[in-house]
Amino acid sequence: MKIRSVDIYILDIPTVRPHQLSMHTITAQSIVVARITNEGGLEGWAEVATIGGASYGEGTPEAIKANIDQYITPHLLGRNPNDFSKIMFEVSKAVRGNHFAKAVVEEAMIDLAAKSKNIPAYELLGGKIHDSLPLAWTLASGDTGRDIEEAKELLQQKRHKIFKLKIGKGDPYKNVEHVLKIIAAVGDQARVTVDVNQAWDETIANYCIEALQDGGVSMVEQPLPTWNYEGMARLTERFKVPIMADESANSVHDVFQITKHRYGNCIALKPCKHGGLMETKKVAAIAEGSGFGLYGGTMIESSLGSAACAAVYATISEFEFGTEIFGPLLFKDRITVNDLQFENFEVIIPDGPGFGMEIDLDKVRHYARDYSYSLS
């Protein structure tokens, strides 16, 4: 059945604790939710998340909604959602950039198409390789003692044994000491990585990465600003510890250049920054063909968006650095009746129709800005 309506909502959901990055501290996360309804009333749902309005990137929640409403929705109405690849190819010709906006409408069409066939979304993406995936957790309180205590508790619960530390804010040298103390406390039981979120210049990076490498850190994510490709290449050549491209690794064209010139040696995948699940598959293939390791990243999506990430990550052969789709664990509440399951240090891939999530409409109403509910 053809697409009858496209509804876009912006929701603000509080988190269980502050989540500190170099450019912003999250206490409430803004997500953009898409609902695509066919003529029979069947709904496909999807979500993308942003960080700190415009502080992380250009795709603000308000811009995502406005551009979908004005420029993308006309390409969807009256179309068969089973043709999501063709539709998105046409959208790519008519709308430049806007990866987050493209991602959420593509994912909603995939959810709808899979539900109409009563199959999991991963069946439309090549089929599931993994039943579960290793799950990292970000220790982002900024307090060394509290982070060590949290890491030990999560290890005991068998919830995480990969820990990421956000170290782009504040004194970089003190941040390195913070990381080294945590490695000393839990490094024999867990892998510890760091994410700089573009905050260092090359001089600081040279000093800090050397100390981190000597201290046993297992990966350094986006240490330099996105524009400093040559600097990323120099760091990659100098150090043995893997240097991951994240904010710089967006479109398939970006990732091709990164892999070709070795502006890093591993890639953080995020469907929203690539422009959807199918584009994520392309990015992963480029990385795999270039010998780059992969990390299943997150933009701190809730259960709905994390389930969409899980669906595509389940179809990708190997994640050398694990995944971090822990968003549902950071939210105080959720907009789905069910939730993702986490067991034995891994996230379980949902097997229900579509992304396997049942929407709680009352929660959507509660958290949505200027909410209006209509199927017309």
Q: Verify whether residue 166 is a known catalytic residue.
A: yes
Indicate which residue of 65, 102, 115, 166 is catalytic: 166
Q: How far is CA 12 from the centre of its chain?
A: 17
Measured distance between the N- and C-terminal CA atoms of the chain, rounded to whole angstroms? 15
> What span, in angstroms and rounded, lies between the C-alpha atoms of 39 and 306?
27
> What span, in angstroms and rounded, lies between the C-alpha atoms of 265 and 259?
7
Tokens of 114: 């899979």
Phi then psi for 27, rounded to 5 degrees? -120, -20
> What span, in angstroms and rounded, lies between the C-alpha atoms of 218 and 321?
9
Dmax (CA) for the chain in angstroms is 61
Dihedral (Cα; 41, 302, 31, 228), 10-degree rounding: -130
Report the catalytic residues. Answer: 166
